[in-house]
Amino acid sequence: MSTETILIMGANGQIGLELAENLRGIYGENNVISADIKDLKNPAGIYEQLDVMDKDRMYEVIKKYKVTQVYLLAALLSATAEQKPKSAWNLNMEGLFNVLDAAKDGIIKKVYWPSSIAVFGPTTPMENTPQYTVMEPNTIYGISKQAGERFCEYYHQKYGVDVRSIRYPGLIGYKSAPGGGTTDYAVHIYHEALKTGTYECFLSEHTALPMMYMPDAIRATIELMDAPAEKVKIRSSYNLGGISFDPSQIAAEIKKHIPDFTITYKPDFRQAIADSWPKSIEDTRAREDWGWNPKYDLASMTQDMLDNLK
């Protein structure tokens, strides 16, 4: 029997849905609790309606199930956060404080919190961005992730909180839909390619960004959470490289499978967000510290995405 009980908050989101499925496979149906702000009629497993900003309710759920690990995935992403700066800041920070406090108060043992390539900004070196570098994010989302990283490290150093984090690149998967991000085009493009044979991209042709296929991202997350504490030397957040490509490159890859596929470009406000982020990420620390090794490239991801979406 598993000695861990896991609570996933923001479990209905792009990462949460896939992570919950994987964690249930590892820890068993009864040891993974999904929670989200929405009330679900037919949840896939044990489910609680929970607003991460409601600390009392969060503590109640943690105690009810004797939760040992929390994955906090509830957040507003980059594009949405630019539209609602105040509520994005409040949600992204308040939820994190409540979870870090639960660990500090000793009612949970381990915390996972996702950071993002959005912690970097226009003054950051854009190619092979290193773990430690200039970080001046200029989006609300990036500012909240940067501040969050500082708090994670602080809670670890001051209070010994076992918090672990990855700076996710754009995440691409077929099982769940992204929402409100700048990298979402790289998911939409596959759906539209199959459905209509054409896609209008909200980023320009040569906007390269770091991306990752969901199976790699989920595996990285679980491997980091499983690593012995002494191997997790970075308690702000780990760089993770993945695959770097621009819209023209993913379109060319899709054309190998769907020869008539066409793409047009109509950049909107998300272009400026993308322009402030790195084009590629250097991740030797994750490789050295806990053995990270990605499996998918653009070709194998595209093959798998199209096979599964068909």
Active site residues: 141
Distances (CA, A) of 282 to 25, 117, 134, 166: 31, 11, 14, 13
Closest-CA residue to 99 (of 144, 69, 76): 69
- 176 sits near ligand SER (criterion: CB under 6 A): no
Cα first-last separation, the chain = 38
- 182 sits near ligand SER (criterion: CB under 6 A): yes
- Shortest distance, position 81 Cβ to ligand SER, whole Å: 8
- Shortest distance, position 296 Cβ to ligand SER, whole Å: 17
- Provide the β-strand partners of residue 36: 49
Task: State both tokens at 276.
Answer: 């402030």
Q: String of b and e for 206-233 (b: at least 16 CB within 10 Å)?
A: ebbbbbbbbbbbbbbbeebbeeeeeebe
Closest-CA residue to 294 (of 310, 279, 281): 281
Amino acid letter, residue 303? Q
Pick the closer one to ligand SER by CB: 95 or 170.
170
Pick the closer one to ligand SER by CB: 107 or 126.
126
- Shortest distance, position 20 Cβ to ligand SER, whole Å: 19
- 69 sits near ligand SER (criterion: CB under 6 A): no
Residues touching ligand SER: how many (CB under 6 A)? 10
**Residue 92, C-beta contacts closer than 8 angstroms, at least 6 positions apart:** 75, 76, 81, 141, 144, 145, 148
Pick the closer one to ligand SER by CB: 91 or 103.
91
- 118 sits near ligand SER (criterion: CB under 6 A): yes
Residue selected from 95, 121, 170, 247 as contacting ligand SER according to rule CB under 6 A: 170
Residue selected from 148, 173, 181, 241 as contacting ligand SER according to rule CB under 6 A: 181
Residue selected from 71, 120, 168, 245 as contacting ligand SER according to rule CB under 6 A: 168
Helix (H) or strand (E) holding 242: none
- 78 sits near ligand SER (criterion: CB under 6 A): yes
Positions that interact with ligand SER (CB under 6 A): 77-78, 116, 118, 141, 168, 170, 181-183
